Amino acid sequence: MTAHSAHRLTSKVINSEEQLRALIGTPAELTCAKISNRLNPMTRLFVERSPFLCVATSDLHGHCDLSPRGDPVGFVRILDDRTLLVPERPGNRLADSLRNILVNPHVGLLFIVPGVTETFRVNGRATITVDAELLAPCAVEGKPPALGVLVDIDEAYTQCSKAFLRSHLWDPKHFVDPSTMPTGGQVRRAIQGEGFDAEAFDREREERYGRRVGFY
């Protein structure tokens, strides 16, 4: 077992693609044929109708980050069939995705359309831009983003519905009551100790959200 694949809980691990393929087999020809290096009239609809996507990045050492992005429907601009522009809104300033892109431009995007079980995946190379002309159409509530991420598409393809069907993600009968989940303040108290005022944190954040402070 190689050092990078060692696991502290089990020695029964897979270390090579040969082992993996022996277990799961190879993809069907029809599956491989769906992968393209550009958008088409059908796949453009996933970008145009999506209010939410996840952005996957990693640094030069392979440390990964997966970040959500959300805005009004169609917030990701299609500049042409091989180029997307993802506006960057104000956040927590950790800038994990952006810092990763600066050293490793390879990114993965997953577009999600509410109520639709198929998703759309884009793999490509990212560049951070501050081009005011490009960013101006991304304005929301009169505020254009200070920067955005240009993505040159290398691979673009739809992902089948199985994950969403298995998870019942869009089925209201399976929705979780938010009151049964920990709040942001409660999570922070679990990390920082009982001296952290979770109630004040949650109350102040809710007030800021109500005023849409830092949204755009």
Q: Do 170 and 117 touch, CB atoms closer than 8 A?
A: yes
The residue range of the domain holding 186 is 176-210
| pLDDT at site 5 | 56
- When computed from its CA atoms, the radius of gyration of the chain, rounded to whole angstroms, is 20
Start-to-end CA span in the chain (Å):
49
Q: Is residue 201 part of a domain?
A: yes
Give residue-wise pLDDT tens across range 10-53. 999 999 999 999 999 999 999 999 999 999 999 999 999 999 99
Q: Verify that 48 and 128 share a domain, yes or no.
A: yes
Q: Is residue 8 part of a domain?
A: no
Q: Verify that 53 and 153 share a domain, yes or no.
A: yes
Q: Verify that 26 and 86 share a domain, yes or no.
A: yes
Sign (positive or negative) of CA dihedral 171, 215, 119, 49 = positive
Query: Closest Cα to residue 100, out of 61, 147, 54, 72?
Result: 61
Domain count, the chain: 2
Q: Verify that 149 and 80 share a domain, yes or no.
A: yes
Give the ranges where the chain is alpha helix by DSSP (H).
17-24, 29-33, 44-48, 96-103, 132-135, 162-167, 184-192, 198-210
Q: Verify that 191 and 152 share a domain, yes or no.
A: no
| pTM of the entire predicted model | 0.93
Give residue-wise pLDDT tens across range 138-195. 999 999 999 999 999 999 999 999 999 999 999 999 999 999 999 999 999 999 999 9
